[in-house]
């Protein structure tokens, strides 16, 4: 947990002032019983009204100073803890951004959301408690014990029994609660993961009338989380009654023994009243420590989970001797590439892939679902690394290129167009924020998006909902294509990115690509042969391997798989070998 202390260091001044103000409040609290003793013994017992008035005013002044200390501590502890939480949350988000796809495969979105939100909030609250209660409670315990001993050492024998009992109880409380709260956070991951899955697929759920089924699935993880949390709270529930019992027994013992000392003349009434106040302060502070230790258990579990993310080493990093990728050219070479989603074992998604695409050429990629098409193109911008073989861009292995320059050179349009909240223009500018309005409009025209954007009430300034919820699938795909075209990449990858548009629009997009990006190397994954029929080369994938490669006419003559795909897509009676 102390590893995260570096996020508090920039705020060392408020982190220092908060305990100092709390020291002021504690000192004022420790003075109050002594002043009360004076009122009882020197004022009430002696019948001195002036002493009562003077001491009462002094108590009021002490109380006001205590208020100043408490308010000051609250203000500065809030400043330190809130800034700590903000910086930690930002750093954690930045770490997630640096992770590779393989890392993210091992850290589901649900657990990352929980760690960035709930776990950071737990730590943020812990820091505030650290600067307040962690100072107040120990100081009150020590200060009250010292003041109580100075009043009467014999009565302190009672504390010699009750205090060790409290510490033993607190020890076992923390020991049992720590692993339980770690499990609680894991179950909360499951709740968030199931919720996110349902919200992402809410249209499918409603279309298939499966709301009841999804409610039951969510109820299952929700009940599981509630069950574990309840078990944890049951243990925590023992804290208050047991410690209150020890506190009350101690006060009764002090009253009984103190009364006996008063009758024998060894203890004045005011001293007994002050002593009871100190005992109450001390044992109440131990009660607070019990609550604090409970929260430490939860904060420790959260800190471990946050540190797990920080300890995750990106699977793909810039090599030590990396060099910038040239933003021109566009040659792509695959040399005996094999790839699997597991690091060292598991089934291969790609097997011994070799081909070359020259600058300005268009490569069409066909194949059945699961044949490895998307896996293949994900190796070019180095979203994953192959297990064996080499991927080269303009003759340089992608593993030796600086990542940002490589990815600026390679534009990718996925089948599922991911748009962000903001305006349409902002989404098109996502890869080039400095692009002019004219450049944005030209990219939209090439992607056949300009017309429908102009028909919208605010045109390019139209605000999109999360994931572009207020657009159709085809509209989202065209904006995603415009976003990639605006980057003017040397290599453009289209992963079935026109699947939601009609054939006429798809033909217009292809024509615009040939016209506007004739010098760009294009890799086009498609389900329809019509989308790649005019490509310089067509790669046919089958079960992770290259089944055939060539032009349309060559494949019609030489590849049975290609002929089967072609026959299935032409209308009945059409000439297959055209």
The secondary structure of 330-384, three-state, reads CCEEEEEEEECCCCCCCCCCEEEEEEEECCCCEEEEEECCCCCHHHHHCCCCCCC
**What architecture does CATH give domain 332-417+489-569?**
3-Layer(aba) Sandwich (3.40)
Q: CA-CA-CA-CA torsion for 293, 294, 296, 302, nearest 10 degrees?
A: 170
Asked if 127 and 6 touch (Cβ cutoff 8 Å), the reply is no
C-alpha to C-alpha distance for 288 and 279, rounded to whole angstroms: 14
C-alpha to C-alpha distance for 426 and 303, rounded to whole angstroms: 36
Asked if 170 and 163 touch (Cβ cutoff 8 Å), the reply is no
Domain residue ranges of the chain, discontinuous segments joined by +: 2-311, 332-417+489-569
Neighbouring-strand partners of residue 72: none
Asked if 198 and 218 touch (Cβ cutoff 8 Å), the reply is yes
Asked if 308 and 4 touch (Cβ cutoff 8 Å), the reply is no
C-alpha to C-alpha distance for 346 and 174, rounded to whole angstroms: 41
C-alpha to C-alpha distance for 359 and 328, rounded to whole angstroms: 9
DSSP string of 463-530, one letter each residue = EE-GGGTTS-HHHHHHHHHHHHHHT--SEEEEESTTTTS-HHHHHHHHHHHHHH-TTSEEEEE-SSGG
Q: Does residue 397 sit in helix, strand or coil?
A: strand
Residue 577: what pLDDT? 37
| Parallel/antiparallel/unpaired status of strands 410-413 and 422-423 | unpaired
C-alpha to C-alpha distance for 21 and 72, rounded to whole angstroms: 6
Length of the chain: 578
Domains 2-311 and 332-417+489-569 share a fold: no
C-alpha to C-alpha distance for 472 and 438, rounded to whole angstroms: 24
Neighbouring-strand partners of residue 422: 464
| Lookup result for tokens 């690509």 | 513
Q: Does residue 496 sit in helix, strand or coil?
A: coil
Asked if 88 and 122 touch (Cβ cutoff 8 Å), the reply is no
Query: The tokens of 421 are what?
Result: 């909240």
Asked if 431 and 492 touch (Cβ cutoff 8 Å), the reply is no
Residue 575: what pLDDT? 42
C-alpha to C-alpha distance for 432 and 450, rounded to whole angstroms: 18
> Tens digit of pLDDT per residue, the chain (578 long)?
678 889 999 999 999 999 999 999 999 999 998 888 888 888 887 777 888 888 889 999 999 999 999 999 999 999 999 999 999 999 999 888 888 877 777 776 667 888 888 889 889 998 998 898 888 888 998 898 888 888 887 777 787 787 788 778 777 776 776 677 777 777 877 887 788 777 777 767 776 777 888 888 888 888 888 888 887 777 767 767 777 787 788 888 888 888 888 888 778 888 888 888 888 888 778 777 767 777 777 788 788 888 888 888 888 888 777 778 777 788 999 999 999 887 666 688 999 999 999 999 999 999 888 888 989 999 999 988 898 999 999 989 998 888 888 888 898 888 778 888 888 999 899 888 899 999 999 999 999 999 999 998 889 998 887 777 778 888 888 999 999 899 888 999 998 888 778 888 888 888 888 888 888 999 999 888 888 888 999 999 998 999 999 999 999 998 888 988 888 887 543 444 33
Residue 343: what pLDDT? 63
- Fold for the domain defined by 2-311: ABC transporter transmembrane region fold (1.20.1560)
C-alpha to C-alpha distance for 203 and 401, rounded to whole angstroms: 41
Alpha carbon distance, N-terminus to C-terminus of the chain: 70
DSSP 8-class letter at 356: E
Q: Does residue 355 sit in helix, strand or coil?
A: strand
Q: Which residues of 68-96 are buried (b: 16+ CB within 10 A; e: fewer)?
A: ebbebbbebbbbbbebbbebbbebbeebb
| Lookup result for tokens 């009467």 | 152
C-alpha to C-alpha distance for 467 and 547, rounded to whole angstroms: 36
Asked if 188 and 222 touch (Cβ cutoff 8 Å), the reply is no
Asked if 266 and 33 touch (Cβ cutoff 8 Å), the reply is no
Asked if 104 and 290 touch (Cβ cutoff 8 Å), the reply is no
Residue 20: what pLDDT? 94
C-alpha to C-alpha distance for 556 and 389, rounded to whole angstroms: 30
Residue 571: what pLDDT? 52
Residue 576: what pLDDT? 40
Q: What is the pTM of this model?
A: 0.74
Q: Quick one: which H or E segment has residue 495?
A: strand 491-495
Asked if 547 and 540 touch (Cβ cutoff 8 Å), the reply is yes
Contacts of 86 (CB under 8 A, 6+ apart): none
Residue 573: what pLDDT? 37
| Parallel/antiparallel/unpaired status of strands 491-495 and 410-413 | parallel
Query: The tokens of 99 are what?
Result: 């992770």
DSSP 8-class letter at 345: S
Neighbouring-strand partners of residue 537: 363
């Amino acid at each position: 947990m102390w590893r995260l202390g570096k996020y508090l260091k920039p705020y060392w001044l408020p982190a220092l002032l908060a305990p100092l103000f709390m020291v002021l409040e504690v000192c004022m609290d420790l003075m109050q019983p002594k002043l009360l003793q004076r009122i009882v013994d020197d004022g009430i017992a002696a019948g001195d009204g002036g002493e009562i008035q003077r001491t009462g005013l002094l108590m009021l002044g002490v109380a006001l100073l205590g208020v100043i200390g408490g308010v000051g501590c609250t203000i500065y502890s809030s400043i330190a803890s809130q800034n700590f939480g903000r910086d930690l949350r930002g750093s954690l988000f930045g770490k997630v951004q640096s992770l590779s796809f393989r890392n993210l495969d091992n850290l589901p979105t649900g657990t990352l959301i929980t760690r960035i939100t709930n776990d950071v909030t737990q730590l943020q609250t812990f820091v505030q408690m650290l600067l307040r209660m962690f100072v107040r409670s120990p100081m009150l315990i020590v200060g009250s014990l010292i003041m109580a001993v100075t009043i009467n050492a014999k009565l302190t024998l009672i504390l010699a029994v009750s205090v060790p009992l409290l510490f033993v109880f607190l020890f076992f409380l923390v020991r049992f609660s720590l692993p339980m709260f770690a499990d609680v956070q894991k179950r909360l991951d499951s709740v968030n993961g199931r919720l996110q899955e349902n919200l992402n697929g809410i249209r499918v759920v409603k279309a298939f009338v499966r709301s009841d089924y999804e409610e039951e699935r969510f109820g299952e993880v929700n009940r599981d989380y509630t069950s574990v949390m309840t078990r944890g709270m049951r243990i925590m529930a023992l804290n208050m009654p047991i410690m209150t019992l020890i506190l009350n027994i101690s006060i009764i013992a002090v009253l009984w023994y103190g009364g006996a000392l008063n009758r024998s003349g060894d203890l004045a009434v005011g001293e007994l009243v002050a002593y009871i106040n100190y005992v109450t302060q001390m044992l109440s502070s131990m009660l607070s420590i019990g609550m604090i230790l409970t929260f430490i258990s939860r904060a420790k579990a959260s800190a471990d989970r946050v540190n797990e993310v920080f300890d995750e080493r990106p699977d793909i990093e810039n090599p030590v001797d990396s060099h910038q990728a040239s933003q021109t050219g566009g040659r792509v070479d695959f040399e005996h590439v094999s790839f699997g989603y597991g690091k060292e074992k598991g089934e291969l998604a790609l097997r011994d892939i070799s081909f070359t695409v020259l600058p300005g050429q268009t490569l069409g990629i066909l194949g059945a679902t699961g044949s490895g098409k998307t896996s293949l193109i994900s190796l070019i911008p180095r979203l994953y690394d192959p297990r064996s073989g080499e991927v080269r861009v303009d003759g340089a292995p992608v593993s030796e290129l600086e990542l940002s320059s490589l990815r600026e050179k390679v534009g990718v349009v996925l089948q599922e167009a991911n748009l962000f909240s903001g305006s349409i223009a902002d989404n098109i500018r996502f890869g080039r924020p400095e692009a002019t309005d004219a450049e944005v409009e030209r990219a939209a025209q090439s992607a056949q998006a300009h017309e429908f954007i102009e028909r919208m009430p605010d045109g390019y300034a139209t605000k999109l909902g999360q994931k572009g919820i207020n657009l159709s699938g085809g509209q989202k795909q065209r904006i995603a294509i415009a976003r990639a075209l605006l980057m003017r990449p040397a290599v453009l990858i289209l992963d079935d990115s026109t699947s939601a548009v009609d054939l006429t629009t798809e033909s217009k997009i292809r024509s615009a690509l040939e016209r506007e990006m004739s010098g760009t190397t294009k890799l086009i994954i498609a389900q329809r042969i019509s989308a790649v029929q005019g490509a310089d080369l067509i790669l046919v994938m089958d079960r992770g391997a290259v089944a055939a490669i060539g032009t349309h006419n060559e494949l019609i003559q030489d590849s049975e798989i290609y002929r089967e795909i072609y026959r299935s897509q032409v209308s009945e009676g059409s000439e297959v070998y055209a």
